[in-house]
Chains A and B, each alone.
Chain A
């Protein structure tokens, strides 16, 4: 069964702090994604990747970096956290094809609070 795990599940930091959110998938999927979820906005794409060493910019990338170290692992980095980055963060993975869209499998989420 598809599996995406995230750590930590909860994180509190202060303004200007350095935060790394981790995601691992065991689906052997090529694509991985980072989203943030905020009331009234649904899920918004921050960054995504189609393989180790690759990074693509999403729709709301400002203030975030990401790195894909292996096919399984995708990290989201906040180097100077701000209160506006307080949110619920989801990682997802997906198989892809030029013939159409496949399901995205989501992790359980990381709740980040920036004081």
Chain B
């Protein structure tokens, strides 16, 4: 079974703190993603990476950065946390089987509260 793990299930941080969220997948997937999920807004893509050291902005990259130094690990960084970054953060990984065929596998999520 594919396994995607996230470093924390729950996290409480203060405004202005630097926050690291880590994600690890064990299936040698090329693609990795970070989403945030908020009530009424669904899942929104923050960043994704299709290879080591490669990254592309998603829909809402402002206030976030990412790092992918190893294929299995994708980190999301909040340089200076703000209260509007309180959210559920979901990591996913996938590989592309063929055109239009890609199954994403999600981690359990990290619920971040910024005070």
Q: Do A and B come from one complex?
A: no
